[in-house]
Amino acid sequence: MIPASVKRQIAAIVGPRGLLDRPEDLMLYEYDGSVDKARPELVVFPRTTEEVAAVVRIAAEHGIPVVGRGAGTGLSGGAIPVAGGIVLSFARMDRILEIDIPNERAVVQAGVVNLDISLAAQPYGYFYAPDPSSQKACTIGGNVAENAGGPHTLAYGVTTNHVLGLEAVLADGTVVSTGGKEVDLPGYDLTGFFTGSEGTLALVTKVIVRLVRMPETIKTALAIYDSTEGAGRTVSELTARAIIPVALEMLDGVMLRMVEEATHAGYPKDAAAVLLIELEGLREAVEEQIEHVREVCLACGAREFRIARSAQERELLWKGRKNAFGAVGRVSPFYYVQDGVVPRTQIAPTLRFIGQVAEKYGLEISNIFHAGDGNLHPIILFDARKPGDLDKARAAGEEILEYCIAAGGSITGEHGVGMEKKELMPKLFSDDTLETIRDLKKLFDPACLLNPGKLLPTGKGCLEIRHPALGRDLVF
């Protein structure tokens, strides 16, 4: 348990309304968007980098684990405090500090919601490109921690391609700055190193991001298929013809029906799959390219190819795609979202394998994913109230991820490893590579107090931590 004297020290920093320790309040912070849970002993809400650093110094002095938390939308258990301790929430660090249009940059605190950056830049004709499906809720600090992606990363890249500089607090409370507004600074790329480190090396408090000019023309199309194989072939054929849309999303029939019933976005409920395809750029080029895309889709078996006729129709199609996870919640009381990656040429066989896994475990699995870069999101429907159902969902997810590795892919494209996938890391990396990752972790966090129990498999972490609530050692 965290001593009362330590809580008083922290309250003196953030104010009496800047922390929570009642059991009924702590329950709200024991989970994120994954299927795991662990309760913190204290939740703290700093407003400045200085307050973050002061809290971290106290935690370091008393050997208390600290877990950073944005909006809690993560899907791999990254914000779950498996060793108890402090959850440090960035909910109050939500200020956009600067919109620098001449240099195409924005400077924001870690708790700023992703979409709010684009809304702030929109009047100037700019936007922030990485757009996770949770962009209306997720924060830039969490995006940096997980190196989040989104539908438009096929052309624009993921978070690390748009983060130019960071301010971060290390495990001992030291405040460091990396990168900057400049295009390229000398020395080690610490900005890239911290991005995607899942809060295990530092707590990011401020971010400098790149802003992108809004395109002249946007065209959004829906290709409708009677087979998932045809949709998969289309993705490969578009790539073979060097046609790179800014977004290329695939939804299978199970997902289509759930989405349409929830959002009435105009998706066909009788289709086996659809591709949501978006092109942007100069008007003449986009007009020409959309016809090439139509040709490829029809040649690969699309029964229909629709182009959104208005901005409202386009927004409705995207509403359906980005509200997909919410649509699943109307059908199943619980679901487990996976995040594997395969080469684009392996999409069709991977979908067949997912179907076999669903049949093997007697579970319904729907598919929605960033088809353009092979980032799949199989959604496994289950009922945790039924004995053994959660275990079946976990086993199904693990088989799918192992197949992704065997197909030449990865266990995550944007959700992170967290606690969910850490035991699969040895299937992806050699022992020597894992030892190097561990050594880097210990260099920045010798006592293993920053988000322990994440990223590295059991036994490859830093040390053992005594968990007071469980009354046993946790090996990290």
**Per-residue confidence of the chain (476 residues) as pLDDT tens digits?**
899 999 999 999 999 999 999 999 999 999 999 999 999 999 999 999 999 999 999 999 999 999 999 999 999 999 999 999 999 999 999 999 999 999 999 999 999 999 999 999 999 999 999 999 999 999 999 999 999 999 998 999 999 999 999 999 999 999 999 999 998 889 999 999 999 999 999 999 999 999 999 999 999 999 999 999 999 999 989 989 999 999 999 999 999 999 999 999 999 999 999 999 999 999 999 999 999 999 999 999 999 999 999 999 999 999 999 988 889 988 998 999 999 999 988 998 999 999 999 999 999 999 999 999 899 999 999 999 999 999 999 999 999 999 999 999 999 999 999 999 999 999 999 999 999 999 999 999 999 999 999 999 987 666 555 544 445 455 55
pTM for this model (two decimals): 0.94
Written in H, E and C, the secondary structure of the chain is: CCCHHHHHHHHHHHCCCCEECCHHHHHHHCCCCCCCCCCCCEEECCCCHHHHHHHHHHHHHHCCCEEEECCCCCCCCCCCCCCCCEEEECCCCCCEEEEECCCCEEEEECCCEHHHHHHHHHHHCEECCCCCCCCCCCEHHHHHHHCCCCCCHHHHCCHHHCEEEEEEECCCCCEEEEECCCCCCCCCCHHHHHCCCCCCCCEEEEEEEECEECCCEEEEEEEEECCHHHHHHHHHHHHHCCCCCCEEEEEEHHHHHHHHHHHCCCCCCCCCEEEEEEEEECHHHHHHHHHHHHHHHHHCCEEEEEECCCHHHHHHHHHHHHCHHHHHHCCCCEEEECCEECCHHHHHHHHHHHHHHHHHHCCEEEEEEEHHHCEEEEEEEECCCCCCHHHHHHHHHHHHHHHHHHCCCECCCCCCCCCCCHHHHHHHCCHHHHHHHHHHHHHHCCCCCECCCCCCCCCCCCCEEEECCCCEEEEC
